Chain A
Amino acid sequence: MASPKTTEAIVAHCEALFGDLDFTAARRWKDAEPGRKVIGYMPIYVPREIIHAGGMLPLGILGGGDNIEVIHGDAYYQSYICRIPRSTIELAITKRLDFVDGMLFPAICDVIRNLSGMWKLMRPEAYVRYFDVPQNFRDDLGGEYYINELRELIAGLEGVAGRKIPDDDIRRSIAVYNDNRRLVQRVYELRAKTPWKAPTSEVYLLLRAGMVLPVEDHSRLLEDYLATCEARDRPMRDNCRIVLQGTFCEQPPLSLIKAIELSGCYIVDDDFMLVTRWLLDDVAVDGDPIANLSRAFLHASAATAAKYEPDPAQKGAFLIETVRKRAAEGVIFASPSFCDPALLDRPMLAKALSRENIPYISFKYAENSGQMQPIREQAGTFADSIKLWSEA
């Protein structure tokens, strides 16, 4: 795929992919060669390397956002359950996912977990797997369990792909994803350094493109964005620098991100689409690739609400480190309504921030929230208070 060469063109391309709920790009990829397969996955993390090594396209399914009218999906869920599963069901019932050959439902919460069973009932012909991960982080315990789970996943995916997935192919895919992770990190570093050059409303779209494109195409897009963005001349504003926290599953509407930015905040880090940054470092490419993926998961992965923190002293440490590393001045907890992981975790993270005198605010959203004025006012007041009352 030829990548557009100006920032504006790149962003426009990503926005078109973001708005396309028929997943045309992924459908085209599949149709380009007979026998190609697409594996959908939901937040928060799956080892995309394995899907890629099987010659298949990993497709991130993040709900329908605010561009879909949920008609059927609401009949599957009570009013007190978050929105992402109902819009995902809507995508399925309206046949927008009929080209997807398998679905992975990661261990993130009970709603996504149960959605895996619903999928089994609704699409008995499809490959459906609840992707469990260890909450014990010892190599010889949680690691051993995880390696066996990965082997089972590989066997299942081989069934979909119709061929074996050899270790050498997984090693090559790990290298491809290492490149992609490094590029994403570079984008995040660029944004943290010069957020006026790489606003989050753009970075977000850039990451979203990675949910539907082949990883190689996405990496080229990231390279082009970095090249064009660094050369870009945009005015720096007197905004405050914040970390956005809680957005790891159901996605905020793009208008919410823009509202926060327009209110006087630079978002210098976030937890959108953690699958792109879940593994914090390169995964080793030599040796047993499954053991390497396991070690990376156990010892060098992001701390988030869906993970158990065995060491009480470390609760909130990852967020505080992010605040320090990005020279952020505060945290905005933006959690989807009825999101158990984000909302149960928030009091503990807030307490950790308070101990470090890091200011924060919190609010809730849904993927289809329409009224942004209250959020803009709340974020704007937060930004003003930081500017007025911070010690700097």
Chain B
Amino acid sequence: MTTKPEKPAVVKEPSMLKQKAMIARNYDKLTSAPETGKKVVSTYVPGNLNELIMCFDMLNNLPEINAIQNGLRKQSGNMIREAEKMGHSEDVCSYVKADIGAMARGAIAPNGKPMPPPDLLLLSYTGCFTFLKWFELLRDEWGCETVMLQVPYDGDGKVTDNMRDYVVKQLKEEVIPAMERISGVKFDIDRLRENLKHSAAAEDDFVWVLQSAMNKPSPIDAYFGGVFYIGPIFTAFRGTEDAVDYYKLLRQEIEERIAQGKGPITPEGEMGEEKYRLVVEGPPNWTHFRDFWKMFYDEGAVVVASTYTKVGGVFDFGFRHDPENPLESLADYCLGCYTNRNLPDRVAMIENYMEAYQADGLLINSIKSCNSFSAGQLLMMREIERRTGKPAAFIETDLVDPRYFSAANIRTRLESYFQMIEQKRRPAGAPTPVAA
């Protein structure tokens, strides 16, 4: 009988511990809102106006993040089934159903305490049609006030003055007055400027972190690790000193990794030799997140750039929140979020990553729930293959519905894909190695 080797203890770096503490504190603040009297705003990751929300001493609750938390804890499946029993179609977004199912089960936050109802639904309609219906559905359940911020889609690949002016005017005449009324706090533009300064500082270090993957070996995994790195900046912490400190700390850790020639940290410790460098398009699956990641690091595959880490803001092409133009800057941030960009722009962005990060290929993780990402991905894949000459592959999973994760199928596809990359690397006419 062979004994199973003991798993090495997972090393938690200081930045990981810091982020964990930040998230825990935020959930505690949210669940204690009924006692503290703080007002809760629910909003979305793309088009998240955290800097503005903080100006009113309100707390930011993000339903997608709650659905992700429930997915990671393998609780979302039952919630989705609950929502389907209530009449929600099996065809629609599983974030929505996980959220509605969670409400039906008492809306328990990850800290085990009930999540209070939101005081305001800030419908930042950015890059996803489902958002619009999602908040109509939540409004129907909670009966709370909803304010809409429509962010026009960047259909022609350029932000026009009309689009920007529309967003700014909505902020001035709809969003800010609603927040003032509900919070009882008068809007102070200097406070917003201060928050935006923090955002810009954190964004500088965040971009440095993402671009560290240009190194060989890459010190980070920009998809599976990347989803942790985007945590603070995409959620309730952008604009805080905490976020600035987090990204400084993270940067220092990665600088050390580069100096030591190390690759990314995985849940099972240091990753081995970097064999394949990939760009990934599409969100990850959350219900089998670690199994999914393991399929990559076991094969020496590291993701050097991903589009999902741009869903809550694209910062690596120069945009920074600008304290000198606070409302215009918030508008530009919303307008520039990844899924608010048209397909030609998305293809161009991926093509850029393929070159800049010296990737071996593109992998698309196509998500059943998310038409905003998924519709058109097969054409995107072909375009990238045509433009770069590098191989692309396509797998299908879902966000938080565990019924759509087929491990065996994905593993087989990935294995074939890695073989394809090997073949592309070999000079023409070289023999194919025989598997041992």
Contact = CB atoms under 8 A, between A and B. Distances in A.
Interface of A: 75-78, 80-81, 85, 105, 107-111, 113-118, 120-122, 129-130, 132, 134-136, 141-142, 144-145, 148-149, 152, 305-306, 308-310, 312, 315, 335, 337-341, 343-348, 350-351, 364
A122 B91 contact: no
Contacts of A341: 129, 133
Interface pairs A-B: 10 shortest CB-CB: A117-B343, A130-B155, A344-B133, A145-B166, A148-B162, A343-B89, A114-B375, A110-B371, A114-B376, A110-B372
A117 B130 contact: no
A110 B148 contact: no
Interface string B10-46: 0000000000000000000000000000000000000
A343 B91 contact: yes
8 contacts: A107-B153, A110-B128, A113-B155, A116-B155, A117-B155, A145-B163, A308-B136, A310-B146
Interface string B122-151: 010100111011101101100100101010
Given A144-B169, A308-B150, 9 more contacts: A76-B376, A110-B371, A110-B372, A113-B153, A113-B375, A117-B343, A132-B152, A134-B150, A152-B162
Contacts of A148: 162
Contacts of A144: 166, 169
Contacts of B88: 343, 347
A45 B215 CA distance: 49
Interface in B82-141: 86-89, 91-93, 96, 123, 125, 128-130, 132-134, 136-137, 139-140
A133 to B, nearest CB: 10
Nearest to A130: B155
Contacts of B81: none
Contacts of B148: 135-136, 308, 310
Contacts of B130: 110, 340, 344
A340 B372 CA distance: 11
A118 B379 contact: yes
A44 B298 CA distance: 48
B378 interface: yes
Nearest to B377: A78
B274 interface: no
A226 B153 CA distance: 41
Given A347-B137, A348-B140, A114 B156 contact: no
B374 A113 contact: no
B378 A77 contact: yes
B398 to A, nearest CB: 9
Contacts of A132: 152-153, 155
A118 B133 CA distance: 25
Contacts of B165: 145
Contacts of B374: 78, 80-81
Contacts of B347: 121
B383 interface: yes
Contacts of B173: 141
B344 A340 contact: no
A144 B152 CA distance: 13
B86 A80 contact: no
B134 to A, nearest CB: 7
A237 B357 CA distance: 70
A306 B150 CA distance: 13
Contact of A315 (B140, B163, B343, B376): B140
A320 to B, nearest CB: 15
Contact of B86 (A111, A335, A347): A347
Nearest to A89: B379
A273 B35 CA distance: 52
Contacts of B285: none
A308 B136 CA distance: 8
Given A312-B140, A344-B134, A346-B89, A117 B129 contact: no
A41 to B, nearest CB: 14
Q: Which of B133, B148, B153 is packed against the most chain A CB atoms within 10 Å? A: B133
A85 B143 CA distance: 36
Contact of A116 (B134, B169, B342, B372): B342
B270 interface: no
Nearest to B370: A110
Main SS class of interface, A? helix
A346 B166 CA distance: 30
Interface in B317-366: 342-344, 346-347, 366
Contact of B155 (A121, A129, A306, A345): A129
B64 to A, nearest CB: 15
B316 interface: no
A122 B379 contact: yes
A224 to B, nearest CB: 39
A345 B133 contact: yes
B93 A340 contact: yes
B160 interface: yes
Contact of B133 (A113, A305, A351): A305
B344 A120 contact: yes
B255 interface: no
Given A81-B374, A135-B125, A350-B87, A343 B92 contact: yes
B174 interface: yes
A136 B170 contact: yes
Contact of B91 (A80, A306, A315, A348): A80
A345 B132 CA distance: 10
A110 to B, nearest CB: 4
B368 interface: yes
A242 B351 CA distance: 52
B115 to A, nearest CB: 21
A129 B93 CA distance: 27
A145 B162 contact: yes
B10 to A, nearest CB: 35
A103 to B, nearest CB: 12
A145 B143 CA distance: 29
Given A141-B174, A308-B136, A337-B91, A136 B378 contact: no
A128 B86 CA distance: 40
Nearest to B373: A110
A121 B368 contact: no
A136 B155 CA distance: 19
Given A120-B344, A305-B133, A340 B155 contact: no
B253 interface: no
A142 B134 CA distance: 21
Contacts of B299: none
Contacts of B128: 110
Interface string B390-407: 000000100000000000
Given A113-B129, A340-B93, A347-B86, A85 B375 contact: yes
B336 to A, nearest CB: 16
B343 A120 contact: yes
Contacts of A134: 150, 166
A242 B363 CA distance: 48
A309 to B, nearest CB: 6
A115 B91 CA distance: 19
B150 A135 contact: yes
A319 B63 CA distance: 29
B133 A130 contact: no
Contacts of B146: 310, 312
A309 B128 CA distance: 17
B378 A78 contact: yes
